[in-house]
Amino acid sequence: MKVPSMKWDELPLFCWAILATSLLALVSTPVLAAGLVLLLFDINFGTSFFKPDAGGNVVIYQHLFWFYSHPAVYLMILPIFGILSEVIPVHARKPIFGYKAIAYSSLAICVVGLFVWVHHMFLIDLNSLISINYY
């Protein structure tokens, strides 16, 4: 809904924050949904995607869960950053300092936040991703 005459570097910082949040939700939420559908099948229909004793791999569920759940923190905090980036300069009666840094860091939080989910899984054997080891 950007006005065509408005340049990208004129967007309010809140819009950058919401853009980053939306991209994050768009990429991460379907992965959680897929994991929950597979879990639903395991519980209700006798499949064994995540049941190690039947050939499944429970670590895959952890990956699907944390691929969403790590970025979920940023889904909540990025809009707040955007609001603060608008409210503080207005009430301080100062122009925004570091506009580009804030806009790009919002996008960087989005991108980096998508690729660091494994830090929640520090107790598992990550080699199980490489060599398919079904225990």
Contact assessment for residue 60 and residue 49, using Cβ atoms and an 8 Å cutoff: yes
Looking at beta carbons only, is 92 or 116 nearer to Cu ion? 116
The least CB distance from residue 115 to Cu ion, in Å, is: 11
Half-sphere exposure of 23 (CA within 13 A, CB side): 15
Number of residues interacting with Cu ion: please give it, by CB under 5 A.
Answer: 1
The least CB distance from residue 114 to Cu ion, in Å, is: 11
Contact assessment for residue 55 and residue 66, using Cβ atoms and an 8 Å cutoff: no
Looking at beta carbons only, is 13 or 106 nearer to Cu ion? 106
Looking at beta carbons only, is 8 or 122 nearer to Cu ion? 122
Alpha carbons 27 and 102: distance in angstroms, whole number: 22
Looking at beta carbons only, is 7 or 119 nearer to Cu ion? 119
Site for Cu ion in 44-73 (CB under 5 A): 70
The least CB distance from residue 21 to Cu ion, in Å, is: 16
Query: What's the DSSP call for residue 65?
Result: H
The least CB distance from residue 25 to Cu ion, in Å, is: 16
Q: From residue 125, how far is each of 16, 31, 55, 130, 135 by CA, in Å?
A: 37, 21, 17, 10, 11
Q: Which residues bind Cu ion (CB under 5 A)?
A: 70
